[in-house]
Chain A
Amino acid sequence: MEKELIDVDLSMKFDSLSVLENIRFKVHENEFLVIVGPSGCGKTTMARLLAGLQKPTSGHVTMRGESISPKVHNISIVFQEPSCIPWRTLWDDITMGLVIKGVDQSAIKKRAEEVIKLVGLDGFEEYFPKQLSGGMKQRVAIARAYATNPDLLLMDEPFGHLDAQTRYLMQIEIMRIWEKEKKTVVFITNNIEEAVYLATRIIVFSKLPARIKAEYRIELPRPRKLTTPEFLGVRSEVTEQCEVVER
């Protein structure tokens, strides 16, 4: 039933510093995979490796049997840092991926209007990033990533810089979007509650050098409530594995 999309089997070193050690997992189509781990454990490096922006020191990342590369595969990434291009209007920014992929004009227009509505930014098309709030900017980044209909959507702590309130609303929103357009998502975070709320599967990384510590399949019904006993049960189970995170 589960079709394998990505195969990861790698180690990563920077000079003599070992960051990722024997990381081995698969990503299946249409799943929402969340990677949790303490801050500074190499999660961002993992995201960059999955995006094909970096090559592992040893091992491989393959997508449908081919070594992963943004020139070959349709991948999108939402970065942790605000990544809107300051001199591009919201419209130009969101259509960037489509233009690069060589989609024709009318299709770009249709798809861009679709995703802008999806993230609730209609009416702001001609705005520059400076004129938008932090939450809106991150929604632009998400819309930009979604626009190209990626086979793999990477999200590297996308809500890390948002306040608790906005963060919560964005989680609800990302869930709504995911349920509407089922994509394969790899979501990276250090927040366990967020992980349990979103994931169909969770992989727990240890601290540096990162190894896979545990793996959970989350089968709670959606929409999930943060306060039900089932949710809290799963949450504390995962938390125990990551004692490093919540000191």
Chain B
Amino acid sequence: MGSNYLERVKVFSYNLISLTIFIILWFWVARWQASPFFASPAEIAQGFMQMVTVGDEEGITIFMHLWQSLIRVFSGFGAACVLGIPGGLALGLFPFIYNRTRIIIEPLRFISPIAWIPVAIVLLVGFTRYVFVIWVASFFPIFITTLWSVRNVNLIHINVARVAGASRWFVITRIIVPATLPYIAGGMRVSLGISWMCIVAAEMIGGEMVGIGRLILKSSMMHRMDLVVVGMLTIGILGYCLNEVFIKVEKRIFRWRAAVSID
């Protein structure tokens, strides 16, 4: 117990040291390079302050960019959950449907969501464009993990219920669904990560005014490298936080499981 605590303090301080060394190195390289393309940490901090208070060249603050991106991600993600989870459950319970339509599902699955962006640009306008792209991106991981987890439910657990005279409905709601939930949550976490990547690409290609992806591309076109890095860091930190929150929730809800994977 005592040494465990000590170990944590140690790891924490080591991390602090590496961070400091990294920032000092960065400073040093930035001064040595003295290039407009290489922003120093101080410039980035200034850029961040500007983004918070004034906003970018068009007066849009970082919160507005983030807010837009988040709304798009979560709408698409929500749609993917609403369709993917019941769809996966259904095809998992009736495997013959999946087996007989594989020829269509499998190729669709391997089309990168980013390849759908041009389609979305042609067929859809505004908000629905992004929702569609995010939906495509997050649907398959959720759908496939759900399907797969239904097929891998421990047969013993099902048989225990069956022997006790349970109805099909009981088996589905009390055995299969709880057993698959942790996997579904894992699939959701994975697809949230993919969505986060796709929204950035979609915003860059789709040509909206507001959105964190747009902010990065716009700033890079104006050679405001400090703002580019601010945008990137914001995305990284937010993505990390979303992931952590998800893991925390998973750990909380599925306490009965032995362990939740780390990544």
A interface, CB within 8 angstroms of B: 15-16
Contacts and interface: CB of A to CB of B under 8 A. Distances in A.
Contacts of A16: 1-2
Contacts of A15: 1-4
Nearest to B2: A15
A18 to B, nearest CB: 14
A15 B2 CA distance: 8
6 contacts: A15-B1, A15-B2, A15-B3, A15-B4, A16-B1, A16-B2
A15 B3 CA distance: 7
Contacts, number: 6
* Chain B interface size range: under 10
Contacts of B4: 15
Interface of B: 1-4
A132 to B, nearest CB: 24
A15 B1 CA distance: 7
A16 B1 CA distance: 8
B227 to A, nearest CB: 50
Contacts of B1: 15-16
A16 B2 CA distance: 9
Contacts of B3: 15
A14 to B, nearest CB: 10
Nearest to B1: A15
Contacts of B2: 15-16
Nearest to A14: B3
B217 to A, nearest CB: 48
A15 B4 CA distance: 9
Nearest to B4: A15
B2 to A, nearest CB: 7
A15 B7 CA distance: 13
B235 to A, nearest CB: 41
Nearest to A17: B1
B8 to A, nearest CB: 14
6 closest residue pairs by CB, A with B? A15-B3, A15-B1, A15-B2, A16-B1, A16-B2, A15-B4
B10 to A, nearest CB: 16
A133 B201 CA distance: 53
Nearest to B3: A15
A29 B74 CA distance: 72
B7 to A, nearest CB: 11
